[in-house]
Chain A
């Protein structure tokens, strides 16, 4: 009884699927979907050997400080970093006094509304505060950068490739040598957007933020602030902003894995000894 009903249900689904398949196959053959410009011309981020790559990777504090400087001077005009608190900057190697100064001198203030009168007062941030949200009035919505390194495939590699990846659309060829505007003449970058083959839609609203070497002045003992260097530094900083606990995570992981390896060996030997007299 069950089997007959089951057989009928199975037959029904199978038949409907075969019909779907045949119709789908027919459509695929008669009107194959056209290749899209994104599919043909999207570039994958190139891999950088970050100091924090691998199971023993660590952040380079000097790089993080430079990256923070780039964020402060370039990115924070439009992008928030609202999950990072000023006190977290101690991870970058700053002293308590320096952190206090960074917070106090931050270009935007914390607004507080008096719950009784409704009056809004502003005060300078303290280390306990989160970085104040940036309200961007222009077109487009600059995403918050606290998690950007985890919110995109490719992470820090993607951020760096994006920042340095702006190209001229006219004459742009992909790796196979196909020229974009020849293959897709309708895919011209709309005005107000900028062509960047690393971005999913190929055209994004952010103009290239890092345009010239020396845009940010690095202190003594640091590498030259070329566009590539500034981009790498800010990408590393954003990787830290997304995963401040990465070093603790890897260090704890090492101890736990060694412990469990040893434990597994002991468990195996115990298992063997208990079963040694029993064939199984």
Chain B
């Protein structure tokens, strides 16, 4: 956006000139995703995931709006209305499975997108705002997904809502009032269901708005790239269209292919059978678990089993339940501070060997936390969660700052083009073909 060699929009057709003078939308699109937006030429496939997240959101919006035409948000009929959609509405089964699995795919894509950001330090100056807005989007996504899962009013819907809203009562002083205010009652019921439906419909549009800000903030400095070295000149970039429209098109095709295989051939794999049982406030399921994308946070929540109290007295300063809640929220909130925690001037993990090792440890750690979150809150999962949670906080709050100071990074390439040419020479050995262009 701020690159001086960017192509300028020049409308040729009289209609386009007329429009450009009155409401420059085509110019806006041209400068955002068209030939007018230069992008580093060396982006790898991990850079596809932002667009894929946008595609996933679009799928959710479209299927969601259409499902809302048939869904009834009242505790007595919600479950039946979902079955009505599955059995009687034309293509209803397809819309429902697409929406339910679409949520899972949205999270898969966003998690990869976030980990790309962690590895390549996309959160560093001058892109801190992009990162902060991204964390906001993630929080909104979690709220939306949580409320959406309550809507079918199955056993897991009800009991998941029960457990998570009960967390709020752990907050000292205001906890209980906050809890009843959120629910509009003493337990999840009609009041909660109706307001969750209203907010579930609203929040995705809020997410869309924040995404616009997110992309706007990105387009000021432009995209980062796998070397972490900033763009130096026109030889470092290619116009977004057609280069990245084509690459994103391919990425989208692969995403849709995997999505289709799941929706059509394994639509209930990522779900829980208990949610096909109508909600029964008098019968607790054997194991209450949220959807898989919340499992790491669920593990962190349950990892704290000992109150923070003054030893040898009975005085509890912070009960274990509250610590769990604080830790769970902190695990996401600490992401807001990442640009100021990791102060290494080198961005890309490719040139930070020590950082790289700990990064992969973090990935394994999060996967382990996820596995524990889906299991019973019993040994050995509790002990494993405790170690894994400790590592998670240690990684961001202790290890990263330390690494920033003691690490010896590898020498950076002088420019993006230099890195690309070096790779070309390494792979093809033909300097001529490259030099010719």
Question: Which residues from B are CB-within-8-Å of A254?
Answer: 264
Known A-B contacts A14-B393, A17-B386, A267-B253; A256 and B305 likewise in contact (beta carbons under 8 Å): no
Task: Give the CA-CA distance A83 to B277 in the complex, in Å.
Answer: 12
Question: Which residues from B are CB-within-8-Å of A245?
Answer: 86-87, 93
Ordered by A's residue number, 10 sampled pairs between the chains whose C-beta atoms are within 8 Å are A3-B343, A11-B397, A13-B389, A16-B304, A16-B308, A16-B323, A20-B306, A55-B265, A260-B256, A279-B424
Contact A6 B424 (CB under 8 A): no
Task: Give the CA-CA distance A254 to B264 in the complex, in Å.
Answer: 8
Closest 4 CB pairs of A and B: A253-B264, A10-B397, A151-B276, A264-B253
Question: Which residues from A are CB-within-8-Å of B256?
Answer: 260, 263
Contact A17 B264 (CB under 8 A): no
Query: Considering only CB atoms, which chain B residue lies closest to A23 in the complex?
Result: B306
Interface 1/0 per residue, A19-57 and B, CB below 8 Å: 111011100100001000000000000000000000100
Pick from B260, B394, B423: contact of A256, CB under 8 Å = B260
Question: Which residues from B are CB-within-8-Å of A264?
Answer: 250, 253-254, 257
Question: Which residues from A are CB-within-8-Å of B80?
Answer: 83
Interface 1/0 per residue, A223-259 and B, CB below 8 Å: 0000000000000000000101100111011101100
Q: Does B437 contact A (CB under 8 A)?
A: yes
Query: Considering only CB atoms, which chain A residue lies closest to B247 in the complex?
Result: A271
Query: Considering only CB atoms, which chain B residue lies closest to A55 in the complex?
Result: B265
Question: Which residues from A are CB-within-8-Å of B268?
Answer: 150
Q: Does A222 contact B (CB under 8 A)?
A: no
List B378-437 residues whose CB lies under 8 Å from chain A: 378-380, 382-383, 386-387, 389-390, 393-394, 396-398, 401, 420-421, 423-424, 434, 437
Known A-B contacts A11-B398, A200-B286, A250-B264; A20 and B253 likewise in contact (beta carbons under 8 Å): no
**6 more A-B residue pairs beyond the given contacts A249-B94, A271-B247, with a C-beta to C-beta distance below 8 A:** A3-B341, A13-B390, A20-B306, A28-B380, A245-B93, A252-B264
Q: Does A270 contact B (CB under 8 A)?
A: yes
Question: Which residues from B are CB-within-8-Å of A280?
Answer: 41-43, 238, 420
Known A-B contacts A264-B254, A271-B246; A244 and B87 likewise in contact (beta carbons under 8 Å): yes
Pick from B42, B94, B276: contact of A150, CB under 8 Å = B276
Q: Does B327 contact A (CB under 8 A)?
A: yes
Task: Give the CA-CA distance A193 to B306 in the complex, in Å.
Answer: 40
Q: How many of chain A's residues have a CB under 8 angstroms from any CB in B?
A: 57
Interface 1/0 per residue, B38-62 and A, CB below 8 Å: 0001110000000000000000000
List A60-119 residues whose CB lies under 8 Å from chain B: 83, 85, 88
Contact B393 A10 (CB under 8 A): yes
Contact B243 A9 (CB under 8 A): no
Contact B390 A17 (CB under 8 A): yes
Q: Residues of B at under 8 Å CB distance from A?
A: 41-43, 80, 83, 86-87, 93-94, 97, 238, 242-243, 246-247, 249-250, 252-254, 256-257, 260-261, 263-265, 267-268, 273-274, 276-277, 286, 303-306, 308, 320, 323, 327, 330, 334, 337, 340-341, 343, 378-380, 382-383, 386-387, 389-390, 393-394, 396-398, 401, 420-421, 423-424, 434, 437
Q: How far is the CB of A193 from chain B (nearest CB, A)?
A: 17
Pick from B87, B243, B286, B327: contact of A275, CB under 8 Å = B243
Interface 1/0 per residue, A129-155 and B, CB below 8 Å: 000000000000001001100111100
Contact B389 A17 (CB under 8 A): yes
Known A-B contacts A23-B306, A260-B260; A151 and B277 likewise in contact (beta carbons under 8 Å): yes
B interface secondary structure, majority:
helix
Q: How far is the CB of A106 from chain B (nearest CB, A)?
A: 19
The total of Cβ contacts below 8 Å across the A-B interface reads 172
Pick from A83, A152, A260: contact of B273, CB under 8 Å = A152
Task: Give the CA-CA distance A3 to B94 in the complex, in Å.
Answer: 49
Question: Which residues from A are CB-within-8-Å of B86?
Answer: 245
Q: Chain A CB within 10 Å — which of B86, B268, B423 has the most?
A: B86
Interface 1/0 per residue, A147-173 and B, CB below 8 Å: 100111100000000000000000000
Pick from B257, B379, B389: contact of A257, CB under 8 Å = B257
Question: Which residues from B are CB-within-8-Å of A277?
Answer: 437
Query: Considering only CB atoms, which chain B residue lies closest to A147 in the complex?
Result: B276
Known A-B contacts A7-B397, A9-B393, A264-B257; A151 and B41 likewise in contact (beta carbons under 8 Å): no
Contact B382 A24 (CB under 8 A): yes
Task: Give the CA-CA distance A254 to B397 in the complex, in Å.
Answer: 49
Query: Considering only CB atoms, which chain B residue lies closest to A248 in the complex?
Result: B93
Task: Give the CA-CA distance A33 to B382 in the complex, in Å.
Answer: 13
Question: Which residues from B are CB-within-8-Å of A3?
Answer: 340-341, 343, 401
Known A-B contacts A17-B304, A279-B437; A6 and B250 likewise in contact (beta carbons under 8 Å): no
Contact A146 B306 (CB under 8 A): no
Q: Does A268 contact B (CB under 8 A)?
A: yes
Q: Does A120 contact B (CB under 8 A)?
A: no
Q: How far is the CB of B117 from chain A (nearest CB, A)?
A: 18
Known A-B contacts A252-B94, A257-B260, A279-B420; A268 and B250 likewise in contact (beta carbons under 8 Å): yes
Q: How far is the CB of A263 from chain B (nearest CB, A)?
A: 5
Task: Give the CA-CA distance A14 to B388 in the complex, in Å.
Answer: 10
